[in-house]
Amino acid sequence: MIPVSKPFLPPQSEYNSYLNGIWNRQWLTNMGPLASELEIKLKEFLKLDHLLFVSNGTIALQMAIKALNLRGEIITTPFSFVATTSCIVWENCTPVFVDIDPKSLNIDAGKIEDSITENTSAILATHVYGNPCDVDQIEKIAKKYNIKVIYDAAHAFGVMLRGKSIFEYGDISTCSLHATKLYHSGEGGLIITKNKDILKKLSYIRNFGFNGPEDFAELGINGKNSEFHAAMGLSNLPYVNEIIDKRRFLTERYMKNLQNVKGVIPIWNLDASKNYAYFPIVFETEDLLLACVDKLKKNEIYARRYFYPSLSSSLPYVDKKDLSITEDVAKRVACLPLYFDLSREEVDLICRLILRIQNN
């Protein structure tokens, strides 16, 4: 079987060496020494001044909304994982969907202003498949209307834009370290801000609002992560460059084999590096996509319709909105298998099956 994704696992002996320390210390959670060490090493690796390790990427988004005191409407993308929208609703705000750019698949920054009202408090945009949004245009809009910007950078670990981490953009950026991501801690997330005051507030929020054993500074939540997850993050971190290199090789193999595919690959931001987190194809038609996905499945190969259906038309807890580009793309896009252990031969097989279907 070839799944769409498979987690990278370090040598078990390296993970076990961290576990031995956990057993000796008997400090399992509450920002223990491994969680603190991971934060430091991630800041060094990503060249960031501030960063918090939290329990997952969803909590990171909820913490970001809470830390910025957002109310009312938050402009967002309908082409993302459900957590991008559900976090907005969970925090008692209203998502306002804006259609996507058909080439990058990110929120169309040129359409954002038309959706801004007196109730708009922020823009929450996703770097889809790790591909950076039009951060310059979004920043101009945010300044013009005095609203906040959160970036859901769940897919964007390691991406650089004009020489600096994509996580440096916006008021707050968040990232997922879920097991399906190219770099992971099993379960986990990151929250990043350049603002020291916001960082301090977030650190309180992460730990129930505690400001000492018997004092509270903020309304908080349990956003902490465990030493076991930190151990996985520390074990995996030395392999990130090797993981990206392998994914690059596999992506280039896909690109070479699928030069004549009846579909398009989203256009990557020309100023940004790639982390090769996903390999999406927007097929010419939904019928072709379904035929290819079915053929792959019959051969125990699993592509994923990621993201389908559109959030603007499928969620029972938000008002539905007809966004033509998003609806069209969501029906035609699929991500092909891509992970460290995937072989060149398996990529070749996947490509042969797709080309055989489209050429029938």
269-309, pLDDT tens digit by residue? Answer: 999 999 999 999 999 999 999 999 999 999 999 999 999 99
The answer to whether position 1 is within a domain reads: no
Residues 204 and 248 in one domain: no
Angle at Cα 97 formed by Cα 91 and Cα 103, nearest 5°?
A: 130
Q: Average pLDDT, stretch 100-117?
A: 98
What's the confidence (pLDDT) of residue 174? 98
Residues 123 and 167 in one domain: yes
What's the confidence (pLDDT) of residue 214? 84
Residues 97 and 225 in one domain: yes
Tell me, what CATH number does 185's domain have? 3.40.640.10
Instruction: Grade residue 51 by pLDDT with cuts at 50, 70 and 90.
Output: very high
What's the confidence (pLDDT) of residue 127? 98
Helix (H, G, I), strand (E, B) or coil at 106: coil
Q: Indicate if the pLDDT at residue 360 is higher than 90.
A: no
What's the confidence (pLDDT) of residue 213? 84
Q: Average pLDDT, stretch 178-186?
A: 97
Q: Average pLDDT, stretch 42-46?
A: 98
Q: Indicate if the pLDDT at residue 359 is higher than 90.
A: no
Helix (H, G, I), strand (E, B) or coil at 204: helix
Report the mean per-residue pLDDT for the chain: 97
Closest to 128 in 3D by CA, of 151, 167, 166, 155: 155
Q: Indicate if the pLDDT at residue 344 is higher than 90.
A: yes
Residues 330 and 349 in one domain: yes
DSSP state of 210: B
What's the confidence (pLDDT) of residue 101? 98
Which residue range forms the structural domain that includes residue 259? 240-358
Q: Average pLDDT, stretch 165-188?
A: 98
Cα separation, 135 vs 18, whole angstroms? 39
What's the confidence (pLDDT) of residue 212? 84
Residues 339 and 232 in one domain: no
Residues in CB range of 347: below 8 A, 6 or more apart: 250, 253, 254, 257
Instruction: Give how far Cα 350 sits from Cα of 45, 174, 297, 345, 357, Å.
Output: 34, 33, 10, 9, 11
Instruction: Grade residue 96 by pLDDT with cuts at 50, 70 and 90.
Output: very high
Tell me, what CATH number does 271's domain have? 3.90.1150.10
Instruction: Grade residue 265 by pLDDT with cuts at 50, 70 and 90.
Output: very high
Residues 249 and 227 in one domain: no
Instruction: Grade residue 28 by pLDDT with cuts at 50, 70 and 90.
Output: very high
Residues 219 and 333 in one domain: no
What's the confidence (pLDDT) of residue 208? 95
Question: Structurally, how many domains does the chain consist of?
Answer: 2
